[in-house]
Structure 1
Amino acid sequence: MSDQEMVHETAPRGLKTWLWIVGIVSIVMGALAVLFPFAATLAAELVIGVILVASGILELVRAFAMRHNGSLTWNLLFGLAALVAGGILLAWPLQGIVTLTIVLGVFFLLGGAFKLVASFGMRPFPGWGWIGFSGALSVLLGMLLLFGLPGTALWAVGLLVGIDLIFLGVAEIAMASAIERD
């Protein structure tokens, strides 16, 4: 039995239907994020703020519940840090968007530099140039985000989330199509 036959036989009923549904929803949501990048950026920033607040509250509860294990202070500090960071993002969302854009820009710059260095170390192998190209694009994107501040903060995160959602949706539909062909 081939690997594809095994996947087809072991795939739960309805899997391809759910892949199609989630794929289409991902593409639609991604397209909306690309069309309305500021709204998507703001939504992403607020979601991160809510997650941090919820995580901080849960961490504080856990710290007190497990206070006898000797790590109360560190758990409290972590919980307070998450709670404060999330609260700041929720209280000042526009500043939070700028901060997220700075973090993203620095990530692209550093990640791109690391990929460039790695590509030169891979030079005898086929395809090393693609890693270098990816690194150069990341560096360029990082510079675009950072040198374009504060304007890039209004669209960057939402646009990138939208593009990611579109590619996720396409990948899910491709998986559903592959299951259907078997």
Structure 2
Amino acid sequence: MDLFLDCEWADVLASELVSIALISRDGQYAFYAERDPLPANPTQWVRSVVYPLLDRGDVAMNDATMTLSIRQFLVFLDNPRIHYDFGADRSLCQFVIDGFDIPEPPGPMPPSINWHLCQNLEQAVEAWWSSHPDVIAGRHHALMDARALRSAYINSLDCGQVDR
């Protein structure tokens, strides 16, 4: 199953996860989670742009709960293939799946993941955002960004601009 990934992070090194999202190609399956507590010292940009977009509530999870939730989401998917457009997203997602730094992370490990770096999609992603002014205010919300990547990839694939 094709999934599209986006993460938001709090620091310039892209090492402190704020939120993570996966959405299936058909849009029927989605995973979204936010860290609880949030990183205490985000960049000013993250504090003013990303943090106000967060949903909180049930999607705000401590590290153990987030690991359990993403593992439960992935374990029932056949041949998960995760598409991403930035290396830090892949690293952060793997960090969540692996259980952060928890000695014995909860939940069953998902099947082996096939990772796919989406290259040269910047223009297609920008075109998606330009054609969706009704949701542009949600840019930098991980789930919205994952949807934009998904649509850009599908449109580029349909045009023969990306390899499957």
| TM-score class, shorter | under 0.3
TM-score when normalising by structure 1: 0.22
Would you tell me which structure has more strand in proportion to its own residues?
Answer: 2
More contact order relative to length (CA 8 Å, sep ≥ 6): 1
TM-score when normalising by structure 2: 0.24
Choose 1 or 2 for highest CA Rg.
1
